[in-house]
Amino acid sequence: MAIIMHVDDSSFSRLQIGKVLKKGGHSVLAADNGNSALALLQTATPDLIISDLLMPDMDGFALLEALREQGNTIPVIMVTADIQKDTEAICLGLGAATLFNKPPDEEQLLTFIENALTKE
């Protein structure tokens, strides 16, 4: 299926979402913050990025901004425990494909992934 980069400072979240991704047939790359994700993008090209919003060093907002500045077109799905309309609008404005609440429902997550990967 797809190569998906999961960016989250929580090792528990990386483990849980990683299990869902692997169960869905995807390969998983992991990064613990935006800086790590950008470094990993120097050597890997995922089909999709799933990123937490609130992380130390470089949060999800800054990651979206950096990806946009680099002209990166990899679809990004944001996950957060805080899903306010303002937060969603900012993420979508910065180029995120979608934003959903953490922890995600397994079927919902796989549907979001499929939608983001097939969006033209």
Instruction: Give the predicted TM-score (pTM) of the model.
Output: 0.94
| CA pair distance 11, 17, nearest whole angstrom | 10
Asked if pLDDT for residue 119 goes beyond 80, the answer is no
Q: How many domains does the chain have?
A: 1
What pLDDT, on the 0 to 100 scale, is given for residue 65? 96
- CATH code for the domain in which residue 33 is found: 3.40.50.2300
pLDDT in tens, 37-63: 999 999 999 999 999 999 999 999 999
- In angstroms, the CA 86 to CA 64 distance is 16
Domain, as residue range, for 61 = 3-118
- Residue 83 confidence (pLDDT): 66
pLDDT digits (tens, 9 = 90+) for 80-90: 887 678 898 99
Task: Return the ∠ at Cα 110 (arms to 25 and 38), rounded to 5°.
Answer: 80
Q: Which helix (H) or strand (E) holds 29?
A: strand 27-31
Q: Are 29 and 40 in contact (CB under 8 A)?
A: yes
